[in-house]
């Protein structure tokens, strides 16, 4: 569980990254942190990439059906415009955002904003996904969450694609992906 550091509780900005595989609880953890910030009477705004419409056109929704109102954006620069005067900014599915997101997050943090980002750290090929490596490099705090391997029940941190679609970006759920541990991911066969 992430605990807000005492040294950073006094209007100083910072960047938190929540990463992991599909079905690991990244969005659930993002929503939890944002709701706690709301309880603490912080002004909160959450953003998601405009292409992510799996569960809802505007809301960020976890696989457990927890939801929070968000603003879909086509470009990360829009976050600077729409997040003006906000104390806490949340960003979901960051791996789908453009290359400017790390700069946007740095600008927000420098201006005193707490930035909480959630995203896949690896794609279904096991390679770093999009801008996530850059975000991990500039993060003040990193939380790696894990799913449970559907094959053996171990801790999973790979998103194994069961669909025949080969594009890097494929929005999907259990019909397209399975969480797998390292061993079951590399076996790439049904046990």
Catalytic residue among 4, 28, 93, 173: 93
Structure tokens at 13: 């900005």
- pLDDT tens digit sequence for 27-45: 899 999 999 999 999 999 9
* Longest CA pairwise span in the chain (Å): 52
> Which of 168, 164, 155 minimizes the C-alpha distance to 125?
168
Give the pLDDT band of residue 68 (cuts 50, 70, 90).
low
- pLDDT tens digit sequence for 96-148: 999 999 999 999 999 999 999 999 999 989 999 999 999 999 999 999 999 99
What's the whole-model pTM score?
0.83
Highest mean pLDDT among 3-17, 44-58, 126-140, 172-186: 126-140
Three-class SS string for 32-65?
HHHHHHHHCCCCEEEEEECCCCCCCCCCEECCCC
Q: Which domains does the chain have, with CATH numbers?
A: 10-145 (3.40.50.300)
Contact criterion met (CB below 8 Å) for 149 and 24: no
| Catalytic site includes residue 125 | no
Altogether, the residues listed in the chain come to a count of: 191
Angle among Cα 29, 117, 27 to the nearest 5 degrees reads 30
């Amino acid at each position: 569980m992430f605990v807000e550091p005492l040294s950073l509780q006094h209007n100083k900005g910072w960047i938190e990254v929540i990463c992991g595989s599909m079905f690991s609880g990244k969005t659930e953890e993002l929503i939890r942190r944002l709701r706690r910030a709301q309880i603490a009477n912080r002004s909160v705004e959450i953003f998601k990439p405009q292409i992510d419409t799996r569960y809802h056109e505007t809301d960020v929704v976890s696989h457990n059906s927890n939801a929070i109102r968000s603003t879909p954006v086509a470009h990360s620069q829009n976050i600077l415009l729409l997040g003006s005067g906000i104390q806490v900014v949340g960003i979901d599915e960051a791996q789908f955002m453009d290359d400017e997101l790390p700069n946007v997050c740095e600008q927000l943090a420098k201006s005193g904003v707490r930035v909480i980002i959630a995203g896949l750290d690896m794609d279904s090929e096991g390679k770093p996904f999009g801008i996530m490596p850059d975000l991990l490099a500039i993060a003040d705090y990193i939380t790696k969450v894990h799913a449970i391997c559907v094959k053996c029940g171990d801790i999973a941190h790979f998103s194994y694609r069961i669909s025949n679609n080969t594009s890097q970006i494929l929005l999907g759920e259990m019909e397209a992906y399975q969480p797998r541990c390292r061993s079951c991911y590399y076996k790439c066969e049904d046990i």
